[in-house]
Chains A and B, each alone.
Chain A
Amino acid sequence: KQEVTQIPAALSVPEGENLVLNCSFTDSAIYNLQWFRQDPGKGLTSLLLIQSSQREQTSGRLNASLDKSSGRSTLYIAASQPGDSATYLCAVPPGGFQKLVFGTGTRLLVSP
Chain B
Amino acid sequence: DGGITQSPKYLFRKEGQNVTLSCEQNLNHDAMYWYRQDPGQGLRLIYYSQIVNDFQKGDIAEGYSVSREKKESFPLTVTSAQKNPTAFYLCASTRRLAGEAGELFFGEGSRLTVL
| Chain A contacts to B: CB under 8 angstroms | 31-32, 34, 36, 41-46, 49, 51, 89, 91, 93, 97-100, 102-105
Smallest beta-carbon distance A112→chain B, Å = 27
- A49 & B103 in contact (Cβ 8 Å cutoff): yes
> Which B residues are in CB contact (< 8 Å) with A34?
103-104
Asked if B41 is at the interface (CB within 8 A of a chain A CB), the reply is: yes
- A41 & B100 in contact (Cβ 8 Å cutoff): no
Give B94's nearest chain A residue, CB to CB.
Answer: A98
Smallest beta-carbon distance B87→chain A, Å = 13
| Chain B contacts to A: CB under 8 angstroms | 4, 6, 31, 33, 40-43, 45, 48, 50, 58, 88, 90, 92, 94, 96, 100-109, 111
> Which A residues are in CB contact (< 8 Å) with B42?
89, 102-105
* Known contacts A99-B48, A99-B58, A105-B42, A32 near B108 by CB under 8 Å: no
> Which A residues are in CB contact (< 8 Å) with B106?
36, 43-46
Give A93's nearest chain B residue, CB to CB.
Answer: B101
Tell me if B's interface is mostly helix, strand, loop or mixed: strand
Number of A-B contacts (CB under 8 A): 58
* Known contacts A46-B104, A104-B40, A41 near B31 by CB under 8 Å: no
> Which B residues are in CB contact (< 8 Å) with A89?
42-43
- B107 & A51 in contact (Cβ 8 Å cutoff): no
Q: A32-B100, A43-B108, A98-B48 are in contact. List 20 more A-B contacts (CB 8 A).
A: A32-B101, A34-B103, A34-B104, A41-B88, A41-B109, A42-B109, A43-B4, A43-B6, A43-B106, A43-B107, A43-B109, A44-B90, A44-B106, A45-B106, A46-B104, A89-B42, A91-B104, A97-B101, A102-B43, A103-B42
Smallest beta-carbon distance B42→chain A, Å = 4
- B31 & A98 in contact (Cβ 8 Å cutoff): yes
> Which B residues are in CB contact (< 8 Å) with A41?
88, 109, 111
> Which A residues are in CB contact (< 8 Å) with B102?
98
Give B107's nearest chain A residue, CB to CB.
Answer: A43
- Scoring A51, A89, A99 by chain B CB atoms within 10 A of each residue's CB, the highest score goes to A99
- Docked Cα-Cα span, A34 to B111, in Å, equals 24
> Which A residues are in CB contact (< 8 Å) with B94?
98
